[in-house]
Structure 1
Amino acid sequence: MAKKPADHLTAILSLIHDPRFVQFEAEQTAPTIFNAVGRTHTETWHSALLGWLLDPMASHQLGVYPLQRFLLLLANHQVTNHAAAFDLQWLLTFVDLTEANVRPNERDPSEVRVNDTGRFDVFIDRLKFETDLPPPWKEIQILVEMKVGAAIDQGQCARYMAHIDRLMQQGIFTIPVYLAPSHAFVKDTASLLGDDRWISIDFQHLYDEVIEPCLHAPTVSPFGLTMLNEYVKTLRYRLKGGSPLIITQRDQELVRQLFAQHEPAITMLYQILSEQFTTDSADLSEKKSSIQALTAGTQPVKIAIRIEATTFQAKSMRDLYGQVLHYLDQHGLLAPLPLPIASGSKRYLLATQPVHPAGNAFILPAQYGTYYMEANKSRDGGLNDLGKLLSLCGLHFEVL
């Protein structure tokens, strides 16, 4: 028997008066220091915060820990096959970060500028090593370019890479890092930034791999803890109804709990917002599956991409991953890869078992043969990871 409108109203009222829903809504709009002064999406403020966090001498009293976590993040996201790339695993093994110079910082708020090139959002140098650098290198630097609301500028990227190439002639290797929202990385690195030496990082990974561990570090100062919590709230803030830069683990858990408790109400709200009213049970079942997929990290929308001359059309990220894995395996491009391949310290990009590094199972595994990819991702995040895998295979893709 179909539910009466009164039943639907009762279900929806039960959802919106659930303490967890009230808490979730309140946290999404909580005031922060950043948005109180109108600087929520101002890139200079974000770069100043990142410089402060990575500075070993900063007032957060975390020492080299944030910079170590940042280098580990870069190592896990380095997917280039470029001959000039530097092995970040080697760097992590032998680097001494105690005297690293990170700018901007509390003592020197100015950004590093280079004539005819531009200013660097965050710049790190004075890295010392416990052994000699591999020839021909005499020095290692890190350059971070950050975008929050602005589009990626390939001309700017090209100027930075030209500067890096000039430094290489002097024996100075500069690691270029591009930090942006996940929706910016909908192509592979070479196509998007003009050079596959860039290491692309989104704010979600920065939060997962650097900021969250720092929040739980025993040495973090009270001031440092306050600033990091304010920054996390800022990254979660939905400016003008748009998407947040990050989704915290707490957010995800609240959403799962609410869906488990209030699935009928959420299904009805989805129908109302979609303006698609139907009494057809098969259609309603399909909508429920779509919402369940959405809460699991996939988007029930059509995705179309092209790799070389082959076009792929999929109904979800899981479907797309399965098709692409089939394509790569048929062309003999998966077998040479050193598996598993990490995508951060908590997840694998590609593995032969659907189990992440910490031992937890994939939430939504995409499989072809003995190859597995985690499909519990947003559309943008999923395409970002797909670009990394294709780069390892020497391929590029475009979204249609």
Structure 2
Amino acid sequence: MKAEEVALLERFVLDNPDLERLEAILDEFNPFVAMRWTRQETRHSCFLRWLLDPSETHGLGPYFLRQFVKYIASISNQPASLSVVDLDSWSYMTTQVLTEWNNIDLLIRDDTHKLIVLIENKVDSSEHSDQLNRYRSLIEKQFPQHHKFLVYLTVDSEIASDGAFIALGYPDLIRLVSDTIKRRQDQMHPSVSAFMESYVEMLRRHIVEASEIQTLCEKIYKTHRRALEILFEYQPDRASELKDYLIGLIGNVAHLQADYSSKSYIRFIPKSLDFLPLHGEGWTLSKRMILIEIDQSGGGIKLKLLLGPGRQETRERIHAFISKQPTVFNRAGTKYYPRWWSFHSENWVTKKEYDENDIEDLKQRISARFGEFITGELRQMVKVIEGLRGESWD
């Protein structure tokens, strides 16, 4: 690091009242901040499901659900099939509130009153793959006789691409939860009201546009932009940290041999397969043709078994052998390519989980799945590939 860059960093940390105020806010205990899920959509959806479900432990019964549905109806831009008076009169005691039903973030289903409320929740991400239109079509097909409210919940009430969706913002959610605390505090256990107050405080400070944290961050960035750029340049990212963690897992297993790895592709092979011919070209200095690869290039984590580029006669013989083992290798029957052929693939972590889960949670999940693979599927795979031992490759 250059002397000029060191000086900028020193100035950044010395006599910086805005930074001290930001640190003071972040140091205040909040269970949601402590669990590190301020920006994780799935966790917000889980909290909202808990609050909306009349049978949950908050002790509010259907109160919040009723207030929520009435508010949605009042701001809907669609022809009203139900009035706020109708919605206020229902008991909601048989209402189901589901998360991740057909990948939909939240679904409120009341078959007694023929009501469906679909909620697509976005904190940092945005629409993709025409998902709102697909979800609407699914709901219309599955529940043709139900009254429907389709809700697009975002930080700043973003208008959805599908005009059937009602734009709802996190400031609206803050008001609804705050009003519930105010009007029903005597009905709730003190721990429940404190829990809800912590959630509201977290939203105000970390999510909504006018949060104090955002204001401080904008001011600090304008004043110390270059120092922050230096920090960002040297910070370890998620992929690098997980790469190091995965290489450590591989190194801890005596019968595994690490091979060339990058941040996106971590490769290894059981030592017992070192009898395979070293006819590979252009992807690893070891010249191995078969490697196991953990791929995090797409934002999730996949495990693959690859036949890489190399001598074509050797590749074709290996392909002919492996293609006859579909019960062991789940892609053994897929199209053969002359450079890269993935003959087995497993999704260990989805992109959404990769983006939203805490790094320590990801490490625990990866470690568990890695251990299962090494002691389970890999043993059977090695036993099958051992059938190539004794072949003449030259």
TM-score, with structure 2 as normaliser: 0.45
Larger radius of gyration: 2
TM-score, with structure 1 as normaliser: 0.44
Greater relative CO (CA pairs within 8 A, separation 6+): 1
